[in-house]
C-alpha cells in the first residue's frame, strides 16, 4: 500500500507533467509557424509546428480514433489510481 508521501509525490508529478505538457503546447502554438521552420541552432536544429491528423503516434483506426484512445486513457487512469491505493 502506498504511503502518504508516495501519494503526494504521485500527485505532484502528475500535476507537473500536465502543466508542462500544456505549457509547451501553448509556447509552440504561440511562437512557431506552420509555414516555415524556426532555426534554433542554424540549419542543424530547427523546430516546426505540425499537427497530427491521425490519432496517437499517427495511428488512425477510423472515424472513432479519438474516442477509442480517450476510453483507453480513462481506463489507464482508473487502473493507475487503483494501483496507487
pLDDT at 33: 85
**pLDDT tens, position by position, for the chain (85 residues)?**
567 888 899 999 999 999 999 999 999 999 988 888 888 898 899 999 988 766 666 666 677 777 888 899 999 999 999 987 7
DSSP alpha helices (H): ranges in the chain?
4-31, 65-83
In this structure, what C-alpha cell is assigned to residue 17?
507533467
The number of folded domains in the chain is 1
Q: Which helix (H) or strand (E) holds 47?
A: strand 45-47
Q: Domain span at residue 65? A: 4-83
In this structure, what C-alpha cell is assigned to residue 69?
484512445
pLDDT at 59: 67
Amino acid at each position: 500500500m502506498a504511503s502518504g508521501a508516495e501519494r503526494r509525490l504521485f500527485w505532484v508529478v502528475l500535476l507537473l507533467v500536465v502543466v508542462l505538457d500544456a505549457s509547451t503546447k501553448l509556447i509552440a502554438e504561440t511562437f512557431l509557424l506552420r509555414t516555415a521552420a524556426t532555426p534554433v541552432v542554424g540549419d542543424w536544429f530547427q523546430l516546426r509546428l505540425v499537427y497530427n491528423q491521425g490519432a496517437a503516434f499517427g495511428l488512425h483506426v477510423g472515424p472513432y480514433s479519438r474516442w477509442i484512445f480517450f476510453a483507453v486513457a480513462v481506463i489507464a487512469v482508473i487502473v493507475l489510481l487503483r494501483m496507487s491505493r
